Amino acid sequence: MIGTSRHQAAVDRLRASYAAIPPGSPVRLAKKTTNLFRQRAATTAPGLDVDGLGGVISIDAHALTADVQGMCTYEDLVAQTLRFGLIPLVVPQLRTITLGGAVTGLGIESTSFRSGLPHESVLEMDVFTGAGEVITASPDNEHADLYSTFPNSYGSLGYATRLRIKLEKVPPYVALRHVRFHETDKLAAAIAEISESGEWQGERVDGMDGVAFEPGEYYLTLARWTEGVSTGSPNQGPSDYTRDQIYFRSIQERETDLLTIHDYLWRWDTDWFWCSGAFGAQDPRIRRFWPRKWKRSDAYMKLLKLDLRFGIADRLDRRAGRPERERVVQDVEVPVERIGEFLDWFDAEIGMRPVWLCPLRASRPWSTYPLEPGRTYVNAGFWGTVHVGPDRVNAPKNRAIETKVHELDGHKSLYSDSFYDRETFDRLYDGRNLEAVKKRYDPDGRFISLYEKAVARR
């Protein structure tokens, strides 16, 4: 852990780098990794110096809190908290997601049905604003407007330099049950029941997510924190999905499983959910030679960038006579009672499989991502491409998804491509409040607005 003096020195460097950027010049973070899928305007302008803002400042094991720098990845954060038998209330699926990124850009995981999104567990945060100031925002201080508007603002209001978050105690292992459903109405009913009671068939549920593999083949994976191997499986040791076996396939192959808490947190990162298959990493002939250190999401992201840079997939499609592809990479939230309707529509109109499912509940209103508090939603995540032909420049599938999601009273995250007109965007993301808060904390408009960043700069 870095302590407060080193943290302050890093904040001072951030301030100095900001002061060196001429007024009117673009402002960006000098980050080495990203989990965004939006197309961004190329720039050679120097970025804000965030070197030294990627660590854990301190952990209070008694109060169950941690002070964490904004650029700290969840991989590094969890490595520190697990030493105390603690984890953040929500740990997003990918190792290189940063805490500040998850709070300003949303994140989700299997504990979200009981703990909401990552920003729900933030007690206070220091935000570097467009005025060049570091503001401490909390739910009940004079900067509560910044605190409640910051989630889903994607750097348009500023960047978190320090966040104080809640932690929870965890044992060493996680016991899993993979429960299959054939009908979406029964799947939705189970999600609603577990979200209300925290139990399934008399057994506590600490984590819940699922996968829709095919129409009629849906699974909920129910996780329970546990001190060790269950008495019903005395010879079962924890599974390891970082070698030959692949986690998402195990959901269809076995009813129960056991993972260490560490491996459970990163179960999806090893194969980037199922997307590692695009690079051959799931082919047994290749997988056995694929280094374990490269079985992780940031390695696959680098390969994806190479593909986009050189158009490898597009060249192969043209050579094979296949229609052009539209990239469909989105996470959307749909009310639980309508998730079946969405999945049926998605099967018929988009046809991508699998789809990740993750229930969530918000505990209070959040201005820029206005989910109804106490209402159960289901995140549907889908990441891939669809052959659409020359019309791909118009993004027909992504536009259809946006329309359907909001027809179902849902919302979508803004980490990927969006196509809203300004009026619709402001209605969905409370643009009036966002503009007022931005004027207060970035009066000269030094940071790019959320609409320009998420939509207009495609």
pLDDT by residue (tens digit) across 72-107?
A: 999 999 999 999 999 999 999 999 999 999 999 989
Q: Where are the alpha helices (DSSP H) in 203-267?
A: 247-253, 261-265
Return the closest-CA partner of residue 331 out of 376, 375, 381: 381
Residue pLDDT, tens place only, 120-170: 999 999 999 999 999 999 999 999 999 999 999 999 999 999 999 999 999
Question: What percentage of the chain exceeds 90 in pLDDT?
Answer: 84
Model pTM? 0.93
C-alpha to C-alpha distance for 244 and 281, rounded to whole angstroms: 10
- Among residues 17, 14, 13, which one has the least CA distance to residue 45? 17
Give the integer Cα–Cα distance in Å for 73 and 55. Answer: 8
Burial of 226 (0-12, 13-18, 19+ CB in 10 A): middle
Residue 28's pLDDT is what?
A: 77
Least confident of 20-34, 105-119, 269-283, 373-387: 20-34
pLDDT-derived band of residue 47, with 50, 70 and 90 as boundaries? confident
Residue 230 has pLDDT above 60, yes or no: no
Domain assignments of the chain as residue spans, ordered by start: 3-170+436-456, 173-267, 311-419
Instruction: Look at residue 315 in the predicted model and tell me its pLDDT.
Output: 82
Give the per-residue pLDDT at 93: 93
Q: Give the residue-averaged pLDDT of 275-280.
A: 92
Look up residue 391 and give its DSSP letter. Answer: G
pLDDT tier, 234 (very low <50, low <70, confident <90, very high otherwise): very low
- What confidence score (pLDDT) does residue 32 get? 63
Q: Is the pLDDT of residue 326 over 70?
A: yes
For residue 99, which of 148, 143, 160, 186 has the smallest C-alpha distance? 160
Average pLDDT, the chain: 92
CATH of domain 3-170+436-456: 3.30.465.10
In this predicted structure, what is the pLDDT of residue 231?
43
User: What is the predicted pLDDT for the residue at 320?
Assistant: 83
> Which is more confident, 349 or 317?
349
Query: What does the alpha-carbon distance between residue 239 and residue 180 come to, in Å, rounded to a whole number?
Result: 20
Q: Among 20-24, 260-264, 323-327, which range has the highest average pLDDT? A: 260-264
pLDDT at 340: 96
Nearest to 156 by CA among 457, 456, 445, 455: 445
- Reported as a pLDDT band with limits 50, 70 and 90, residue 228 is confident
**What is the pLDDT averaged over residues 267-275?**
96
Q: 391-411, pLDDT tens digit by residue?
A: 999 999 999 999 999 999 999
pLDDT, residue 232, reads: 44
How confident is the model at residue 36, as a pLDDT?
Answer: 63
The string of pLDDT tens digits covering residues 129-143 is 999 999 999 999 999
Residue 227 has pLDDT above 90, yes or no: yes
Provide CB contacts within 8 A for 100, sequence distance 6+.
Answer: 69, 70, 71, 72, 159, 160, 161, 163
pLDDT greater than 60 at residue 71: yes
Q: What is the tens place of the pLDDT at every residue in 327-368?
A: 999 999 999 999 999 999 999 999 999 999 999 999 999 999
Is domain 311-419 annotated with CATH 3.30.70.2520? yes
Handedness of CA 137, 143, 146, 148 (dihedral sign): positive
* pLDDT band with cut points at 50, 70 and 90 for residue 27: confident
Contacts of 429 (CB under 8 A, 6+ apart): 152, 368, 369, 370, 414, 450
For residue 34, the model assigns a pLDDT of 63
Which residue, among 193, 165, 169, 166, has the nearest Cα to 179 in the 3D structure?
Answer: 193
